[in-house]
């Protein structure tokens, strides 16, 4: 069970992998924009920024997967409640169904298992669900926990509420998936655009090194290249923002 889905901790392998990736990027930028070891050393703190951005990406991916798994989980939960199971037994049956879909250790299986354990310890199901929603920071899970708690408190039709909620979540996920498919080509083009400026600089450095020589190893040239590098990084950030779909 994950204590907070907004916090990601690299495994040792991930930390080494992404640190190397960040270091390679810094070397490339340092060589292209400054052509000096000093430039690489000055840019080296950006490895931390790269690791932080990578964590943000991995958090978004994990929360997307959790949202999809949760959709399947409440579909199974709805079917079990419809078959006449109690809430605890419905969660148990849902886990059995989920194990046929997802491998051992899937997030939703662990979370549903935790909910069952808390129910067995005489904790209200709605409280366990609320805690899951709070830790997930996923809008659909938070909304479901609130609706579930209201239904339990007022004696509403849990089966119908869960079925309706599952349908809404499925529709939202499908819309997001369709949008992602529609803009996939544009994201590819955007990634090409991010590479082009560095590619042009590399081409000029390789074929016409004398043309760029006045921009290196002097204060005026370093200032110009620093401005260009800043604009390049900000442009890449802007491209990422306009091609990102919020989960």
Tell me: the pLDDT tens digits for 173-202?
A: 888 888 878 777 778 888 888 888 888 888
- For the record, the structure tokens of 195 come out as 């590479």
Predicted pLDDT of residue 9? 92
Predicted pLDDT of residue 245? 64
- Residue-level length of the chain: 247
Q: Quote the crossing angle between the two packed helices 87-101 and 125-136, to the nearest 10°.
A: 40
The answer to whether the Cα torsion of 184, 186, 189, 190 is positive or negative is negative
Mark the ranges of the chain whose per-residue pLDDT is less than 50. Answer: none
Predicted pLDDT of residue 11? 92
Predicted pLDDT of residue 247? 52
């Amino acid at each position: 069970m994950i204590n907070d889905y907004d916090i990601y901790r690299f495994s040792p392998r991930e930390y080494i992998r992404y640190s190397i990736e960040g270091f390679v990027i810094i070397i490339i930028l340092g060589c292209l924009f400054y052509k000096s070891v000093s430039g690489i050393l000055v840019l080296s703190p950006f490895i931390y920024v790269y690791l932080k951005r990578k964590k943000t990406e991995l958090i978004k991916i994990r929360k997307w997967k959790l949202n999809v798994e949760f959709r399947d989980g409440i579909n199974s939960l709805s079917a079990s409640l419809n078959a006449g199971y109690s809430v605890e037994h419905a969660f148990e049956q849902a886990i059995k169904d989920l194990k046929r879909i997802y491998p051992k250790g899937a997030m939703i299986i662990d979370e549903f298992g935790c909910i069952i354990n808390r129910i067995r310890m005489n904790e209200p199901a709605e409280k366990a669900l609320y805690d899951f929603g709070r830790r997930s920071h996923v809008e659909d899970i938070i909304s479901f926990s609130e609706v579930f708690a209201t239904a339990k408190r007022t004696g509403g039709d849990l089966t119908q509420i869960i079925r309706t909620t599952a349908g809404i979540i499925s529709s939202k996920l499908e819309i997001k998936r369709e949008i992602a498919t529609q803009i996939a080509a544009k994201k590819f083009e955007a990634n090409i655009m991010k590479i082009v400026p560095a590619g042009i600089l590399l081409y000029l450095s390789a074929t016409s090194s004398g043309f760029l020589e006045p921009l290196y190893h002097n204060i005026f040239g370093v200032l110009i290249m620093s401005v260009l590098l800043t604009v390049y990084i900000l442009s890449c950030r802007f491209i990422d923002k306009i091609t990102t779909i919020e989960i």
